A and B are shown apart, each in its own frame.
Chain A
């Protein structure tokens, strides 16, 4: 299976949405992420959500989903862009449970909010921290980490 084959299948199923084919993967609009994901999982057997991450492109955030289809031996890179003034996107953790923690990590490091996520908390950094360290505008100079334990309860 190739990128182009995958591209054609999505195009045939959703003729209305604008998909862009890149050498490394496919770019789809944010609004249709969930329906494309459902289609990919149920009909082209992408049963493994291998990785979810983001890249700060300064003027927008790029979300990257690495989906793997075991029968086809093919890794699809699915991308979507999130505008800085509306850093929200629909979660896919209902489809792939592996996306649960990976989306929490993306939220923790980039501040992208995943709507309808079952448990969207910071996963590595302290809950009361307000910075998002993997953004390009995060200042490392003069940054003094003050780790605070979540507090042992009970």
Chain B
């Protein structure tokens, strides 16, 4: 072994997906050790929660995993609803499933596009993914008036009903996206260069994944058939029929493939939900300010894994403690083990396949 060199990857490295700083010890091209440094995006959101009312905190959850704001809103609101036993109208439950699954689709699209970009498929897959994503972003804009930070799911309902014509728009999108998925498959999945770069790179075994509390597509890529939507259904997920895609080897390619297949499953859920939305008023009728006691833990299946909110209430108008268990945080913890012994270029590939968002890691 030659002399070890320290390489600083990040915090402004284009493939670290945000402000992540990896301190790599390398022997030539081989990574010997990796030390992640977090905290560049630490805003103290858990402390902010203790100084805001329950309702005021919803917009802050948008800023955790900013690629999946709807899912964050949903999890937080479900935690408050569990704490205070608030009922949610049926129509709101269906709208929540629709927006959450559409958000999962566009989050996975970004993951796939940026992953391909990391592997050197310069710009084309990324632009294709963002072109499709734009359609849903515009839809969310028409539903709630925002393109990135939606603040749509509210405690006890949603902020507004969907405008007329939305159902047809979503049906058109599903038909369009199914055609695009064939395109992505042909462009990337079995592309020789793509396979050479991602197959057998960063293999994560089932046992290690469970021990590190890995969740989401990353866990399923390692061959564990586990999905909170299926195994511990929340909301109205038990009314829909969908499959859980799993991978075989747990390598970077499997993590990509699982995400691609999950897009199709999400489209299936949206298709079933859009045909059976009950009538009624989905808008929340809960007071803006209320008090609660007790504690509640709720977790939901976010695009990146299981997001959990642990709320402790002591009778005040603010939560006494709000712990956010973010999926990317736990998923990133395994990175040093995965990239030890790989080339630096493969470390970029593994990091891209983890699909992290620094907003929810640093909080």
Mark A residues whose CB is within 8 Å of B.
24, 47-51, 53, 55-56, 64, 66, 70, 73, 75, 77, 96-98, 100-102, 105, 109, 122-126, 133-134, 138, 140, 150, 152-154
Q: Does B39 contact A (CB under 8 A)?
A: yes
Partner of B333, one of A50, A75, A101: A101
Residues A48 and B213 in contact, CB atoms below 8 Å apart: yes
Q: Which DSSP category, helix, strand, loop or mixed, fits chain B's interface? A: mixed
Q: How far is the CB of A67 from chain B (nearest CB, A)?
A: 10
Q: Does B321 contact A (CB under 8 A)?
A: yes
Q: How far is the CB of A113 from chain B (nearest CB, A)?
A: 19
Per-residue interface assignment for chain B, residues 196 to 238, with 1 indicating a CB less than 8 Å from any chain A CB and 0 otherwise? 0000000000001011110000000000001000011000000
Residues A24 and B231 in contact, CB atoms below 8 Å apart: no
Residues B46 and A109 in contact, CB atoms below 8 Å apart: yes
CB-CB contacts below 8 Å: B286-338 with A: 294-295, 297, 299, 306, 308, 310, 312, 320-321, 323, 325, 329-330, 333-334
Supposing A73-B232, A97-B333, A140-B51 touch, asked if A49 and B213 sit within 8 A by C-beta, the answer is yes
Q: How far is the CB of B185 from chain A (nearest CB, A)?
A: 31
CB-CB contacts below 8 Å: B35-74 with A: 37-39, 42, 44, 46-47, 51
Residues A153 and B329 in contact, CB atoms below 8 Å apart: no
Q: Does B7 contact A (CB under 8 A)?
A: yes
Residues on the A chain within 8 Å of B226, using CB: 70
Partner of B210, one of A47, A55, A134: A47
CB-CB contacts below 8 Å: B17-49 with A: 21, 23, 37-39, 42, 44, 46-47
Q: Which residue of B lies closest to A23 (CB)?
A: B294
Supposing A73-B232, A75-B297 touch, asked if A101 and B312 sit within 8 A by C-beta, the answer is no
Partner of B6, one of A55, A97, A102, A154: A154
Residues on the A chain within 8 Å of B47, using CB: 133-134, 138, 140
Supposing A124-B38, A133-B47, A140-B51 touch, asked if A55 and B213 sit within 8 A by C-beta, the answer is no
Q: Which residue of B lies closest to A64 (CB)?
A: B310
For the A-B complex with A97-B212, A109-B46 known, give 17 more contacts whose Cβ atoms are closer than 8 Å: A47-B211, A50-B213, A50-B306, A50-B308, A64-B323, A66-B310, A73-B231, A97-B333, A98-B212, A100-B333, A101-B333, A105-B329, A126-B39, A134-B46, A140-B47, A152-B21, A154-B23
Q: Does B254 contact A (CB under 8 A)?
A: no
Count, A-B residue pairs, CB within 8 A: 86
Residues A153 and B295 in contact, CB atoms below 8 Å apart: no
19 pairs, A vs B, C-beta closer than 8 Å: A24-B294, A47-B211, A50-B299, A51-B308, A53-B310, A64-B323, A66-B297, A97-B211, A97-B334, A98-B213, A100-B333, A105-B329, A122-B39, A123-B38, A124-B363, A134-B47, A134-B321, A153-B6, A154-B7
Q: How far is the CB of A114 from chain B (nearest CB, A)?
A: 15
Q: Which residue of A lies closest to B362 (CB)?
A: A124
Residues A124 and B310 in contact, CB atoms below 8 Å apart: no
Q: How far is the CB of A10 from chain B (nearest CB, A)?
A: 20
Residues on the A chain within 8 Å of B308, using CB: 50-51, 66
Q: How far is the CB of B222 from chain A (nearest CB, A)?
A: 13
Q: Does B8 contact A (CB under 8 A)?
A: yes
Residues A153 and B8 in contact, CB atoms below 8 Å apart: yes
Please, how many angstroms separate the alpha-carbon atoms of A97 and B176 in the complex? 43
Supposing A53-B323, A70-B226, A97-B333 touch, asked if A124 and B210 sit within 8 A by C-beta, the answer is no
Residues A51 and B37 in contact, CB atoms below 8 Å apart: no
Please, how many angstroms separate the alpha-carbon atoms of A125 and B8 in the complex? 19
Residues A98 and B51 in contact, CB atoms below 8 Å apart: no
9 closest Cβ contacts across the A-B interface?
Answer: A98-B213, A154-B6, A124-B39, A53-B323, A124-B42, A51-B325, A101-B333, A55-B321, A97-B211
Q: How far is the CB of A59 from chain B (nearest CB, A)?
A: 14
Please, how many angstroms separate the alpha-carbon atoms of A78 and B308 in the complex? 16
Q: Which residue of B lies closest to A25 (CB)?
A: B295
Per-residue interface assignment for chain B, residues 241 to 275, with 1 indicating a CB less than 8 Å from any chain A CB and 0 otherwise? 00000000000000000000000000000000000
Please, how many angstroms separate the alpha-carbon atoms of A24 and B313 in the complex? 13
Residues on the A chain within 8 Å of B321, using CB: 53, 55-56, 134
